Structure 1
């Protein structure tokens, strides 16, 4: 698998992304992030906490949908509680991620692992939208005693796996040679 990512990185070096990364490095945002001692650490903390929040909310909802977490709240109540947390977490992940990208654009833009994470994140967003629509549609139609069908249950676990891929990709970025 290492050869695959190495070849992908080599290919990325020969695309417009390298020039774009050099352009990003000259912007004001990049200078502020690099010159401000607290810029990168604060963006990283915001990024990590947002990931923890989004993954935690997803996991709570998934466990409740799959009858693995008890409680007195119905699935519609649990989904109404956690879905906004997931979306706000994704907003903060995007903002902090862009800030971190501008801090080290060359290192990230030609990094195959970074693009693996971005593809995983795009899939996560798409599947989360599908998941959310399925939960809301069934929850409103089924009332308080609603139980998820097999598709919604499976989709919930796919969302959890995608979150894990995003987290693994994020950690892996630091160790990928560029």
Structure 2
């Protein structure tokens, strides 16, 4: 089954019709989706700026990561759920859109990058949290920020492509 055929089938399901026909559902889901991206990107901003050595240099990276990483995971879960609802409601708008698939690839890449560079910090001892960060970690922090910003831009441009 092609993506287009799957999208057409999904559009005709009772769940998709219920989401589309209930006046308040799509605006509510979109609002929650946008608030979740704000939480995710805000948490990523603080965490990555700390890893880059730009922000909260007086606190150990582990402290910042422990504080904000759970917010990132919760926001990502909400984003995936609300995004899935939006796809079910209007599959033709997303599943056939190259910008949507670019956004999904960027989210996956940013997610993996976060796992690789932030999650291990949760297991380190406080003595290992000095202000010196490797060039690789700093570069990954800036790359992560760039990826999340690209996700936002792609999300906005889905409506225009």
Aligned residue in 2 for 1:23: 9
Question: What SS does the corresponding residue of 2:55 show, helix, strand or coil?
Answer: coil
Is residue 37 from structure 1 mapped to residue 19 from structure 2 by the alignment? no
Q: What aligned pairs does 1:70-109 form with structure 2 within 5 A after superposition?
A: 70=56, 72-109=58-95
Question: Partners in 2 of 1:141 and 1:74 — Cα distance?
Answer: 7
Aligned residue in 1 for 2:151: 166
Gaps of 5+ in 1: 1-14
Structure 1 residues 130 and 144, CA gap change in structure 2 (3 angstroms): closer
> Per-residue deviation at 1:28?
2.8
Aligned residue in 2 for 1:5: none
TM-score (norm 1): 0.83
With 66-75 and 106-115 compared, the bigger mean Cα shift is at: 66-75
Structure 1 residues 70 and 126, CA gap change in structure 2 (3 angstroms): closer
Structure 1 residues 128 and 149, CA gap change in structure 2 (3 angstroms): same
Gaps of 5+ in 2: none
Question: What SS does the corresponding residue of 1:174 show, helix, strand or coil?
Answer: helix
Quick check: 1:135–1:152 contact (8 Å CA) kept in 2? no
RMSD: 1.8
* Deviation sequence 1:54-86 (CA, Å, 0-9, x none): 000011011222221236532211110011111
Question: Partners in 1 of 2:45 and 2:79 — Cα distance?
Answer: 17
Quick check: 2:52–2:137 contact (8 Å CA) kept in 1? no
> Per-residue deviation at 1:143?
3.4
Question: What SS does the corresponding residue of 2:56 show, helix, strand or coil?
Answer: coil
Q: What aligned pairs does 1:95-134 form with structure 2 within 5 A after superposition?
A: 95-134=81-120
- After the TM superposition, which segments of 4 or more aligned residues of structure 1 sit over 4 Å from their partners? none
Quick check: 1:134–1:152 contact (8 Å CA) kept in 2? no
Q: What is the number of equivalent residue pairs in this alignment?
A: 161
Question: Partners in 2 of 1:130 and 1:70 — Cα distance?
Answer: 21
